[in-house]
Structures are given as C-alpha cells and as structure tokens.
Structure 1
Amino acid sequence: MTPKISFRDVVKSFPVKGGSFTALNGASLDIADEEFVTVVGPSGCGKSTLLSMAAGLVEPTAGEVLVDGEHVRGPGPDRGVIFQQYALFPWLTVRKNVEFGLRLADLPPGERTRRAEHAIELVGLTEFADALPKTLSGGMKQRCAIARAYAVDPAVLLMDEPFGALDALTRVQLQDQLLRTWSQDRRTVLFITHDVDEAVYLARRVVVMAARPGRIHTVIDVDLPYPRTEEIRLSPEFGRIRNEVWHSVYHQAAPLPT
C-alpha cells in the first residue's frame, strides 16, 4: 500500500553568511493513511522544516517528498496547515473564518454553509459561530483554526505546535478535542510538538529527531488504545512510553553552555 506521506532521504540546506546550514540531512519516513504521527526533538532538529516540506512551503535541497505517491510541488487543498498562530481574520465571525477557504474554492453558498457548520460542530463551537475572534479565548481561536482546515476537506492535516502558546489546562482540553474530531472525521495527521506528554498522548507513533544536522533518530510505537483518556494518561504503560521518548530526546539534546 502506498504511504500517504513519504520523505525519502530528504536534505534541506539554507544559505548563511560564509556557507550553508543543513537543517535536515537524509530524513526518511513513511506515514500511513489516517495515521496520527507526532514529531519531537531538540530545538534546531528540523521538525518545522520537515512539516513545511510536506506542506509544499519549502523545497528539499535533495531527496523527495511525496503525498499519495506524487511529488509535492507546492501547497495544495489536499493538505491543511495549522500553525501556533491562529491567523484568523479579526473582522470575520467564526463561521465566516471557517468559510473563507471554501469561498476561494468557489463552492456554492449552500455547500459552503453545510461544510462550515459540520466543521464548527466537530470542534464544539456551534454556539459561537457568529462570534468575532476578539471575544474568543485562545483555545477557542485555535479550535476555529482547526475547523477552517477541516472545512476544505484535506486528506492531510499538518500541525506545527498548534497548542504551544496555550496554558496547560487548555492544552490538555484541546488535545482531547482534537482526538474526538479526528476519531469522527479521520485525516492523516503530522503533528509537531516540544511536549513529550502531548506527543505520546496523541499519536500512534512518535518520531524522535536529532539535531545538527537534523535527522530521524528513532520511531517509537504508542501501543495504547483510542479513545485516549485521563486513565490512559496516568497508566504505567503511558509512563513507560513517555520515559522512552523523553530519554531519546534528552540524550540527543546538546548540553547548555556553562
């Protein structure tokens, strides 16, 4: 079976004064259809670069990135991208923000409304559909951004630390909301995070990256059932996997200068 996303010996170098900086060096990874994969690693390991190449926002220096067996040549409606910043239009309501991408796709008004309402319901914002972003909490704004990505019906969701700026309680609540949404309306998800607990709680597999140059250090299976619950988060098996991921990340991180 063809993987949904494939990174094959991907190298990415950026020009810097006096030479170049290699952000990724020979990264290879296959992600299956409807699989939820998280990526963790020390700062500078190329996590966001990997995601940006899958999104078509950055081209590899060498190697190839494929979606459904086709080379990624640029952004496309088959891939929805969600960043840490909400990037909502402040003058548009939740509903109008979610409909924005559908307007660009030139869908009929009735179909736009149907898709937007479905996406808003998925993320639990139905009663706030006519609210402006300034009246929403940070977590609700991020749920709106997720609904906007879902509304255009992408096969792939690429999420770059979407909960990184939120407080701990809101972050946990949004993790549960995201998994509920994913369980109802499956997508292939590539999710970047610095949080090891978040990586284990969400994923079927955790990809641990190493830095300088960026590369895939190890891939750890998360053999925990869905739906994920607080009981699972507190279970000995969760703790064992979390410790395995943590030690893989910690031993790859460069020591701080003394």
Structure 2
Amino acid sequence: MIPKITFRDVVRTFPVKGGTFTALDGVSLDIADEEFVTVVGPSGCGKSTLLGMAAGLDEPTGGEVLVDGAPVTGPGPERGVIFQQYALFPWLTVRRNVEFGLRLADLPAEERRTRAQRAIDLVGLTDFADALPKTLSGGMKQRCAIARAYAVDPTVLLMDEPFGALDALTRVQLQDQLLDTWSQDRRTVLFITHDVDEAVYLARRVVVMAARPGRIHKIVDVDLPYPRTEEIRLSPEFSRIRNEVWHSVYHQSPAAV
C-alpha cells in the first residue's frame, strides 16, 4: 500500500552569509492513510520546515516529498493547513470564514452552506455560526480554523503548533476536541508541537527530531487505545511513553544536537 505522505531523503538548505545552513538532512518518513503522527524536537530541528514542504509552501533542496505517491509541487486542496495563528477574517462570521475555501473552489451556494455547517457542527461551534471572530475565545477561533480546513474535505491535515498560543486548560480541551473530530471523520494528520505531553496524547507515533542538521532522532510508537481519556493521560503507560519521548528530546547527546 502506498503511504499517504512520504518524505524520502529530504534535504533543505538555506543560503547564509559565508555559506549554507542545513535545516534538514536526509529525512525519510512514511505516514499511513488516516494515521495521526506528531513531530517534536528542540528549536531549530526543522519541524515547521518539514510541514511546510508537505504543504507545498516550500520545496526540498534534495530528496522528495510525496502525497499518495505523487510529488508535491505546490499547495493543493487535498492538504489542509492549520497554523498557530488563527488567520480568520475579522469581518466575516464563523460560517463565512468556514465557507471561504469553498468559495474559492466556486461551489454552489447551497453546497457551500451544507459543507460549512457540517464542519461547524463537527467542531462544536453550532451555536456560534453567525458570530464574528472578535466575540470568540482563542480556543473557539482555533476550532473555527479547524472547521475551515475540514470544510474543503482534505485527505491530509497539516497542523503547525495549532494550540501553542492557548492557555494550558484550553489546550487540553482542544486536544480532546481534535481527537473527537478525528475519530468521527478520519484524516491523515501531521501535527507539529513543542509539547511532549501533547505529542504523546494525540499520536499513534511520535517522531522525535534532532537539530543541526535537522533529522529524525527516534520514532516512538504510542500503544495506547483511542479514544484517549483523562484516565489514559494519568496512566503509568502514558507516563512511561512520555518519559521516553522527553528523554529523547531533551537528553540527546551533544553530537546529535
């Protein structure tokens, strides 16, 4: 079976004064259809660069990035991208924000409304469909951004620190909301985070990156059942996996960072 996302010997360098900076060096990774994978690592390890290439917002210096076996040559509707900043249009209601990508696709008005409403219901914003972003909390704004990504029916969700700007309680609530949405309407998810607990709680696999140059240091399987619950978060097995990932991120040998 062809992996949903493939990074094959990916290298990304940037010109700097006096030479080049290698952000990624020889990264290879396969992500299966409907798999939830998180990527965690020290600052400067190339996490966001990796996601940007999957999104088609950047391109590798060497190697290749594939989706469904085809090279990524630019952005595409099959890949929804969600950033840390909500990027909502402040003058549009939740419904209009969610419909935005559907308007770009020139879908009929009735289909736009139906698909947008389904996405709004999926993320629990039904009662706020006609609200403006300024009236929403940070967590609700991010749910709106997730609904906008879902509305265009992507097969892949690429999420770059989407909960990084939220307070701790809201962040945990949004993790549960995201997993609930994912369980109802499966997508392949590549999720970038700095938070080890978040990485373990969400994923089937955690990819631990090493920096300078950015590369895969370790891949940790998360053998915990879905749905994930508070009981799982507090379980000894969660702690064991969390400690393994934490040690892999923060106790890499000097040669690896």
TM-score range, shorter chain: over 0.9
Contact between 1:3 and 1:68, CA under 8 Å: does it hold in 2?
Answer: yes
Other structure's SS at 2:115 match: helix
How many residue pairs match? The answer is: 255
Aligned to 1:67: 67
- Whole-Å separation in 1 of the counterparts to 2:175 and 2:252: 26
Aligned to 1:140: 140
- Whole-Å separation in 2 of the counterparts to 1:254 and 1:90: 46
User: Where do 1:1-258 residues align within 5 Å?
Assistant: 1-252=1-252
RMSD over aligned Cα atoms? 1.0
- Whole-Å separation in 1 of the counterparts to 2:25 and 2:172: 33
- Whole-Å separation in 2 of the counterparts to 1:190 and 1:11: 19
Provide the TM-score with structure 1 as the length reference.
Answer: 0.98
Unmatched segments (≥5 aa) in structure 1: none
Contact between 1:210 and 1:253, CA under 8 Å: does it hold in 2?
Answer: no
- Whole-Å separation in 1 of the counterparts to 2:209 and 2:23: 11
Contact between 1:99 and 1:151, CA under 8 Å: does it hold in 2?
Answer: yes
- Whole-Å separation in 2 of the counterparts to 1:19 and 1:227: 48
Q: How far 1:17 moved relative to its partner?
A: 1.2
Letter in 1 for 2:177: Q
Provide the TM-score with structure 2 as the length reference.
Answer: 0.98
Give per-residue Cα distances to partners, 1:56-80, cap 9 Å, x unaligned: 0001000000000000000000000
Unmatched segments (≥5 aa) in structure 2: none
Letter in 2 for 1:144: C
- Whole-Å separation in 2 of the counterparts to 1:197 and 1:248: 13
Q: How far 1:253 moved relative to its partner?
A: 7.7
Other structure's SS at 1:7 match: strand
Moved over 2 A (4+): 252-255
Other structure's SS at 2:213 match: coil
Give per-residue Cα distances to partners, 1:74-103, cap 9 Å, x unaligned: 000000000000000000000000000000
Q: How far 1:148 moved relative to its partner?
A: 0.1
